[in-house]
Amino acid sequence: MTQVRFALAQMDTCVGDLDGNADRVLDFARRAAAGGAQVVAFPEMTLTGYPIEDLALRATFRRAAWQTASELATRLAGDGLADLFVVVGTIGTDHETGKPRNRMIVLHDGVVWAGYDKHFLPNYGVFDEFRIFSAGDKSVVLEMAGIRVGVAICEDIWQDGGPVADLAAKDIDVLLTINGSPYEEGKTHVRRDLAGRRAAEVGAPLVYVNQVGGQDDLVFDGGSFVVDADGTLLERSPMFMEDLSFFDYDSDLPKQVPGTIAADPDPDEEVYTACVLGLKDYMAKNGFTKGVCLGLSGGIDSALVAAMAADALGGGDRVYGISMPSMYSSDGSKDDAADLARNLGAHYDVQPIEPLFVAFQKQLDLDGVAAENLQARIRGVIVMAYSNSKGLLALATGNKSELACGYSTIYGDAVGGYAPIKDLLKTRVWQLARWRNRAAADGVGIGGLKIVGNEGGWKGQPVDGDVIPVNSIVKPPSAELRPGQKDSDSLPEYDLLDQVLEAYIEHAHGRADLLADGFDPDTVDTVMRLVDRAEWKRRQYPLGPKVTALAFGRDRRLPITSMFRE
Amino acid sequence: MTQVRFALAQMDTCVGDLDGNADRVLDFARRAAAGGAQVVAFPEMTLTGYPIEDLALRATFRRAAWQTASELATRLAGDGLADLFVVVGTIGTDHETGKPRNRMIVLHDGVVWAGYDKHFLPNYGVFDEFRIFSAGDKSVVLEMAGIRVGVAICEDIWQDGGPVADLAAKDIDVLLTINGSPYEEGKTHVRRDLAGRRAAEVGAPLVYVNQVGGQDDLVFDGGSFVVDADGTLLERSPMFMEDLSFFDYDSDLPKQVPGTIAADPDPDEEVYTACVLGLKDYMAKNGFTKGVCLGLSGGIDSALVAAMAADALGGGDRVYGISMPSMYSSDGSKDDAADLARNLGAHYDVQPIEPLFVAFQKQLDLDGVAAENLQARIRGVIVMAYSNSKGLLALATGNKSELACGYSTIYGDAVGGYAPIKDLLKTRVWQLARWRNRAAADGVGIGGLKIVGNEGGWKGQPVDGDVIPVNSIVKPPSAELRPGQKDSDSLPEYDLLDQVLEAYIEHAHGRADLLADGFDPDTVDTVMRLVDRAEWKRRQYPLGPKVTALAFGRDRRLPITSMFRE
């Protein structure tokens, strides 16, 4: 009889932080050993962080990563952890071609004891691995703690054939995969079903360790798990937080015994938490310690972003909300912005833009869209002034519907270093705002999410009612850049617009497909014209988290200059 | 004896403009036939434009491209050109996998008569082809007009093995390659040497047809050519302009007879013309017919950009220069800006920013860098107001040295839809300005470049002296955002800085390499710190032409969030 305890070290790595990542691995390894583990596995490219893009091509970086791995093996042994098998990801070099490789290494006995190079290099959506790595071509079975462990890295289990097909013939006891699989709505079940099929293919339990945390515009959701050869879920780690969980393999049992299984979250909570974690990690990893600033218009977009920021920062005291009313701002909007800030305990300044608008108009005498954009750009200047003078990260509050349709002002409301809701359609923004108001302030959500407001409120005053003012949710959306303006003057109603955008952008439906989907020709042509018009501005939008299959930004790589109309 | 006349149709395509590209092909084909050609060859992906990025993945687009190709074959026959062999590039579909292919087709006899799929799909630098296409695996010899023509597409001749190696054993008479090879300084000779080696490998002349024109941040330089099996240059088309040239192949001759060979241009003229063409095509292809606007500071960067714009537009009457002096602007700077505008015949407005600065400061009371950025952002608002109200393309005037070091204000001087000199180091900017002043107004340069000013000047007044005021070239660079400010307060002297940037960015030298290059540690650390600091802003810079091997933007794909310091 052989029993082996695996530790699933779901760690939040940072790209390029070789020393920091190695220190964290050591810490997790100590805790894994203390918990009785013989094998501890970390996410893909643990030491280097993931994805490293063209940093892989810099020789200095590859040498430093190799140095880090060797030193870590020595440090583990020095800490009395020589017997532990520490499975980490890093960058390697293909000695024939000199090209980088996406590598798994095992640190054991004070040395880099074994290695495996990823076979399948994804080259679609957000992935660019074929560009920077050369592919491994060997399948590897490791004898660890008396059992036979086959190994794979992320995409290796998503493609048929390759290392998993090889391992099926090699009588392995466990299939261990290390992953950097970014979050995407609905992907949890896809991943688990896939893993179940691979476990059946090799006839052994599959241990799936995933990365967690935000990295630029990706969010990794963790949710590591173990699935048995018959598809039974044996273990599941929580989503959106670091975690160390264990799985006990027993060679005598035909079926393994299930352990702790984290529940599947509510879909709104899941997306909300992904956005909060993306923002939180972007701030932490880029050294924005002083907080964020953003314009508060009284509308739903800025309200939701402010709530996310307060939750990311553990309170409103590092959130600087700026109300920038114009001659066209309604009193209701100003009140809603003030109420929201108070409910979140955020800083709240009022900076009227009328005197500035008048000063510009004295020189420029603009009208129409140019005058509307001027208002938005004066606000952009003010937000950036707060950012520069107080060292704050400016947040852009645009949602995916308006960004897709170009219904925003470049260098105006689109300024900011991070755009937390840039991948949420407007109808989803409303849903999340309602969810956020329902969420209890005293409970702790998935990913350790703590909801700010509701209970404590500003300066300890209890909030009477909803944190996000109901008026911000129910009123007709307006940019308030001219008297009586409504979004619906320029755009189809959001319920309809979002359906068309979903089909056109996410599912790549062309005009004929959209008509076949049942949308009327006028709406289709309006939306396609809006999106076309907005497309050329695309590359100048700020960074934000990716939540759906095909977000704007680098994974929608359309040419700027294109005459094609589908 | 067999004689075959090839026409090299060096065409400026536009991505997605299927109908427009097809019309142009028809026009070139008519002229080729009128000139006695039996075979006319166009650049890579003629009908679709190149590079098409993820547009390739849209099924609607692929269907439309196929329709266009079929109709074009019919139209050619209808025009009495059924006998002509018309070799164009387009997108195909791999019928096994459904994936797109980079395809060459031959239109002949009213049908799509033959096809060949590109084998090697470049996946480095600016190229992303492996991401979107599947690779062809057949080599093809076409019997055209009585001779055996082997074919290849661009990267196919850059890699050893593959189709060229196959063709070496197939006794071909001519090797025909169609290309979309972007401009890069010094690449002309690399291309020609490579082609000579491939011609020797197959033992036949190589016909190289290249794309010309700007497409987003790429500029294609044309310069199509024919090289004999012994390396003799037989024909060379001009750079940076559309062209139809001919090559007569004679099967009886052991060595072919050289025809017209365009001269190699002066290196400064070459780079200057690349920048002008990039801007000209960006405007034409995106429908910016009304002209450009830009801030004129009296400094060298904005002066050079204004001169490029005047040359791109064939005169200064669609160039709107805006002088935006502050309390820190010197009289000399204001005079230099005015002189430049007059010399170019450009519009010239003065918009003082002091009243606007005072209005903002009354509310915000900023100091230090925040107050400096405020000035730059007020200017950004004014430039965008001109852009919006007059329908002009705003030009950003930043150079590569300052962008690399973050010595610019995001949403300030960095605003604009196109940045003509974003890939030129500061020392190169000075060189090109001096070259521009030397260039004669009455001569026509490469690419048909016509120099504006010198002769005609503003409202027909002759310019007395240099178009770009000498003072703009020789004075110490300053942002003029505080009294007595000089670039050298914050940056190493440009002669030195540009050398370090060249090594660090273009040649990917790490810290140790830079020290080995002979740079002193203080300078190296200063420059690396500046570049690191600037790196996270990178993705928000506007688009511009690519001139060197490794420009900023999408071909320098470093993670935003990275802790690595080399």
pLDDT digit string (tens) for A521-530?
999 999 988 8
A556 vs B contacts (CB less than 8 Å): 54
Interface touch A411/B370, C-beta < 8 Å: no
* A166, A143 Cβ separation under 8 angstroms: no
A435 has pLDDT over 80: yes
pLDDT on residue B288: 87
The closest of B399, B482, B387 to A411, measured between CA atoms, is B387
pLDDT in tens, B455-476: 544 444 446 678 999 999 999 9
Q: Is the previous residue joined to B51 through a cis bond, with omega within 30 degrees of 0?
A: yes
pLDDT on residue B148: 98
A351 vs B contacts (CB less than 8 Å): 363-364
pLDDT on residue B440: 66
What is the secondary structure of B84-144 as a DSSP string?
SEEEEEEEEE-TTT--EEEEEEEEETTEEEEEEE-S----STT--HHHH-PPP----EEEE
What value does the mean pLDDT take over residues B483-491?
88
- Residues in binding site of A for L-glutamine: 124, 181, 187
Mean pLDDT of chain A: 89
**B49 inside 8 A of chain A by CB:** yes
pLDDT in tens, B196-242: 999 999 999 999 999 999 988 889 999 999 999 999 999 999 999 99
Cα A437 from chain centre: 22
Tokens of A480: 């308030």
CA distance A490 to A513: 24
Tokens of B300: 């060298």
Q: Where are the alpha helices (DSSP H) in B171-266?
A: 187-202
**B350 inside 8 A of chain A by CB:** no
What is the gyration radius of the CA atoms in chain B, in angstroms?
A: 25
B370 vs A contacts (CB less than 8 Å): 385, 388-389
B118 annotated active-site: yes
Tokens of A88: 């980490």
**Residue B213 dihedral angles phi and psi, to the nearest 5°:** 120, 165
Lowest mean pLDDT among A133-142, A412-421, B357-366, B435-444: B435-444
The structure tokens 């490791």 sit at A142
CA distance B139 to A435: 60
**Active-site hit among B44, B155, B184, B480:** B44
A154 annotated active-site: yes
Secondary structure element (H or E) that encloses residue A178, with its range: strand A174-179
pLDDT on residue B160: 94
> Closest Cα of chain B to A389: distance in Å?
5
Interface touch A512/B564, C-beta < 8 Å: no
B488 annotated to a ligand binding site: no
What value does the mean pLDDT take over residues A20-37?
98
The closest of A26, A214, A496, A458 to B561, measured between CA atoms, is A214
**Active-site hit among B118, B285, B400, B422:** B118
A44 annotated active-site: yes
pLDDT on residue A457: 43
pLDDT on residue A217: 80
A320 vs B contacts (CB less than 8 Å): none
The closest of B123, B147, B142 to B133, measured between CA atoms, is B123
A53 vs B contacts (CB less than 8 Å): 557-559
Query: CA distances (Å), A287 to each of A281, A481, B341, in order?
Result: 10, 35, 44
Interface touch B561/A128, C-beta < 8 Å: no
A210 has pLDDT over 60: yes
CA distance A222 to A281: 14
- Chain A interface mutation, best of B60, B387, B392, highest count of A Cβ atoms under 10 Å: B60
B324 vs A contacts (CB less than 8 Å): none
pLDDT on residue B484: 87
Residue B464, number of CB atoms within 10 A of its CB: 7
**B560 inside 8 A of chain A by CB:** yes
**A540 inside 8 A of chain B by CB:** yes
* B528, B534 Cβ separation under 8 angstroms: no
Angle CA B224–B262–B419, to nearest 5 = 65
DSSP, collapsed to helix, strand or coil, labels residue B393 as strand
pLDDT on residue B404: 83
Quote the DSSP letter at residue B491.
S
CA distance B519 to A410: 41
pLDDT on residue A427: 95
pLDDT on residue A539: 40
Q: Residue A562's pLDDT band (boundaries 50, 70, 90)?
A: low
> Closest Cα of chain B to A498: distance in Å?
20
**A287 inside 8 A of chain B by CB:** no
> Closest Cα of chain B to A482: distance in Å?
17
Closest residue in A to B558 (Cα) is A54
Among A16, A367, A564, select the one facing B563 at the smallest CB separation: A16
Interface touch B510/A59, C-beta < 8 Å: yes
> Closest Cα of chain B to A228: distance in Å?
33
Among B54, B541, B561, select the one facing A285 at the smallest CB separation: B561
DSSP, collapsed to helix, strand or coil, labels residue A481 as coil
| B308 vs A448, more confident | B308
Write the ipTM.
Answer: 0.92
pLDDT in tens, B128-146: 899 899 999 999 999 999 9
- Residues in binding site of A for ATP: 295-302, 397
> Closest Cα of chain A to B55: distance in Å?
6
Closest residue in B to A388 (Cα) is B370
Interface touch B384/A364, C-beta < 8 Å: no
Among A59, A130, A540, select the one facing B540 at the smallest CB separation: A540
pLDDT on residue A123: 87
B547 has pLDDT over 80: no
* A16, A8 Cβ separation under 8 angstroms: no
CA distance B519 to B496: 9
Q: Kindly list the structural domains of chain B, giving each domain's residue range(s) and its CATH number in brackets, ordered by start.
A: 3-253 (3.60.110.10), 269-487 (3.40.50.620)
DSSP, collapsed to helix, strand or coil, labels residue A16 as coil
pLDDT in tens, B53-108: 888 888 888 999 999 999 999 999 999 999 999 999 999 999 888 899 999 999 99
The closest of A287, A181, A385 to B363, measured between CA atoms, is A385
Lowest mean pLDDT among A17-21, A58-62, A345-349, B423-427: A58-62
pLDDT on residue A410: 87
Euclidean distance between the first and final Cα of chain B, in Å?
64
A135 vs B contacts (CB less than 8 Å): none
Max Cα-Cα span within chain B: 87
% of chain B surpassing 70 pLDDT: 92
What value does the mean pLDDT take over residues B291-314?
95
- Work out the burial of residue A314: count CB atoms within 10 Å of its CB; fewer than 13 is exposed, 13-18 middle, 19 or more buried: exposed
The closest of A445, A399, A434, A437 to A419, measured between CA atoms, is A399
pLDDT on residue B552: 38
Lowest mean pLDDT among A85-94, A170-179, B52-61, B184-193: B52-61
pLDDT in tens, A379-399: 999 999 999 999 999 999 988
Dihedral sign from CA coordinates of A217, A222, A228, A233: negative
Q: Residue B559's pLDDT band (boundaries 50, 70, 90)?
A: low
pLDDT on residue A405: 85
pLDDT in tens, A278-320: 999 988 988 889 999 999 999 999 999 999 999 999 999 999 9
Interface touch A369/B384, C-beta < 8 Å: no
The closest of A88, A85, A87 to A108, measured between CA atoms, is A85
Q: Please, how many CA atoms are within 13 Å of residue A199, restricted to the half-sphere of its CB? A: 25
B309: region left, alpha or beta (phi > 0 left; psi from -120 to 50 alpha): alpha
Interface touch A415/B415, C-beta < 8 Å: no
Quote the DSSP letter at residue A53.
G
DSSP, collapsed to helix, strand or coil, labels residue A410 as coil
What value does the mean pLDDT take over residues A56-69?
91
Tokens of B82: 């059924």
**Residue B76 dihedral angles phi and psi, to the nearest 5°:** -60, -45
**B544 inside 8 A of chain A by CB:** no
* B91, B103 Cβ separation under 8 angstroms: yes
Residue B57, number of CB atoms within 10 A of its CB: 18
Interface touch B513/A415, C-beta < 8 Å: no
CA distance B137 to A473: 57
CA distance A355 to A59: 54
pLDDT on residue B118: 98
Query: CA distances (Å), B358 to each of A292, A366, A385, A387, B434, in order?
Result: 26, 20, 14, 19, 38
**Active-site hit among A14, A44, A270, A422:** A44
Max Cα-Cα span within chain A: 87
A286 vs B contacts (CB less than 8 Å): 536, 560-561
Angle CA B356–B360–B362, to nearest 5 = 115
**B564 inside 8 A of chain A by CB:** yes
> Closest Cα of chain A to B144: distance in Å?
33
Interface touch B363/A355, C-beta < 8 Å: yes
% of chain A surpassing 90 pLDDT: 68
CA distance A29 to A76: 8
pLDDT on residue A555: 40
pLDDT on residue B563: 60
> Closest Cα of chain A to B21: distance in Å?
10
A52 vs B contacts (CB less than 8 Å): 559, 562
**Active-site hit among B14, B129, B154, B285:** B154
A-contacting residues of B 456-515, CB under 8 Å? 508, 510-513
Residue B548, number of CB atoms within 10 A of its CB: 20
What is the gyration radius of the CA atoms in chain A, in angstroms?
A: 25
Q: Residue A536's pLDDT band (boundaries 50, 70, 90)?
A: low
% of chain A surpassing 70 pLDDT: 92
Interface touch B510/A58, C-beta < 8 Å: yes
- Residues in binding site of A: 124, 181, 187, 295-302, 373, 397, 402, 537
> Closest Cα of chain B to A125: distance in Å?
9
| B533 vs A481, more confident | A481
CA distance B78 to B72: 10
Tokens of B189: 């000779």
Q: Residue B429's pLDDT band (boundaries 50, 70, 90)?
A: very high
The alpha carbon torsion through A163, A169, A173, A177 (nearest 10 deg) reads 10
pLDDT on residue B236: 96
| Contacts of B191 by beta carbon, 8 Å cutoff, 6+ apart | B181, B208, B223
